[in-house]
């Protein structure tokens, strides 16, 4: 894939930061990479990367702040990309609160759903005009070069895979993100916009913890390889980082 414009949420650490790092290091890198995070002043690793890479712009965004999203972030990105629109939106920011049936609270369910489900839907809605603009410039089939929404999900949100229970807030939020992505794929296909969910594997990040089995760089490389291969045949599907399809 060769998107010209990309936006990644939760880009200050973990998978989001590594996505930005690897995307700008690719051959024919994008002209604009918007790396959003809640607190740019504290995003030291991202700042260091952006200092050496003029195509990266750090944008302040709490993904649950929908007013700032609409009134500030989208108009700013629009002003920078102009007619190019936005080729690739990666909704990566995520929250894991660990709760089983005995500890789960309404507050925990809502908080995780807000970040993992509502925010990616609202961000996609807000950037839709820019995704459509990017798509309209291109010919050919669906791809992550033309216009795409990639939602970073988890296998933990797969009903078919759930053999160990627990994790009520996180499982429910990712299962809901999955079905929202299927709806996006149906609703946006006619506009030439692809939508898919990717599972990064169990990755060594703050969320994945030190027992995680996959290296950050391998997971992100794998997911970018999968994005390279996505076409209209894969829109609306659920893949893990090595490219295998995951049952819903």
- Residue 205 interacts with ligand NDP (CB under 6 A): yes or no: yes
**Sites for ligand NDP among residues 28-67 (CB under 6 A):** 37-39, 62-64
Measure Cα distances from 34 to 2, 89, 114, 117, 190 in Å: 15, 10, 22, 21, 26
- Residue 169 interacts with ligand NDP (CB under 6 A): yes or no: no
Q: Which of the ranges 102-110, 183-191, 203-211, 225-233 carries the binding residues for ligand NDP, by CB under 6 A?
A: 203-211
- Give the tokens for residue 94: 């995520």
Distance of closest approach, residue 152 Cβ to ligand NDP, in angstroms: 4
- Residue 152 interacts with ligand NDP (CB under 6 A): yes or no: yes
Nearer to ligand NDP, 112 or 134 (CB): 112
Nearer to ligand NDP, 2 or 72 (CB): 72
- Give the tokens for residue 149: 């929404």
State the pairing for strand pair 148-152/194-199: parallel
Distance of closest approach, residue 41 Cβ to ligand NDP, in angstroms: 11
**Sites for ligand NDP among residues 61-100 (CB under 6 A):** 62-64, 92-95
Sheet containing 238-240: order of strands? 56-60, 32-37, 5-8, 88-91, 148-152, 194-199, 238-240
Q: Quote helix, strand, coil % in the chain, to nearest 5.
A: 45, 15, 40
Distance of closest approach, residue 61 Cβ to ligand NDP, in angstroms: 6
In whole angstroms, what is the distance from residue 91 CA to residue 153 CA? Answer: 9
Distance of closest approach, residue 83 Cβ to ligand NDP, in angstroms: 28
Nearer to ligand NDP, 141 or 160 (CB): 160
- Residue 212 interacts with ligand NDP (CB under 6 A): yes or no: yes
Q: How far is CA 48 from the centre of its chain?
A: 22
Measure Cα distances from 165 to 34, 72, 100, 107, 172 in Å: 37, 40, 8, 20, 11
Q: Which of 124, 154, 178, 235 binds ligand NDP (CB under 6 A)?
A: 154
**Residues binding ligand NDP (CB under 6 A):** 10, 12-16, 37-39, 62-64, 92-95, 115, 152, 154, 199-200, 202-203, 205-208, 212
């Amino acid at each position: 894939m060769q998107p010209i414009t990309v936006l990644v949420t939760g880009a200050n650490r973990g998978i989001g930061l590594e996505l930005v790092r690897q995307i700008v290091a690719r051959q024919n890198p994008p002209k604009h990479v918007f790396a959003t995070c809640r607190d740019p002043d504290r995003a030291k690793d991202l700042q260091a990367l952006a200092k050496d890479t003029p195509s990266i712009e750090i944008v302040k965004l709490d993904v649950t702040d929908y007013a700032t999203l609409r009134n500030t972030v989208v108009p700013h990105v629009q002003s920078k990309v102009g007619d190019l629109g936005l080729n690739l939106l990666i909704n990566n920011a995520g929250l894991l609160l660990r709760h089983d049936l005995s500890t789960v609270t309404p507050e925990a369910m809502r908080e995780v759903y807000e970040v993992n489900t509502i925010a990616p839907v609202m961000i996609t809605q807000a950037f839709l005009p820019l995704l459509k603009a990017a798509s309209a410039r291109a010919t050919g089939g669906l791809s992550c070069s033309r216009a795409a929404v990639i939602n970073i999900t988890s296998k933990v949100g797969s009903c078919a895979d759930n053999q160990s229970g627990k994790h009520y807030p996180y499982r429910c939020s990712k299962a809901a993100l999955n079905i929202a992505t299927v709806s996006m794929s149906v609703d946006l296909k006619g506009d030439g916009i692809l939508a898919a969910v990717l599972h990064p594997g169990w990755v060594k990040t703050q969320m994945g913890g030190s027992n995680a089995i996959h290296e950050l760089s391998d997971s992100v490389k794998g997911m970018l390889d999968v994005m390279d291969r996505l076409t209209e045949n894969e829109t609306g599907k659920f893949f893990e980082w090595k490219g295998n399809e995951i049952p819903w």
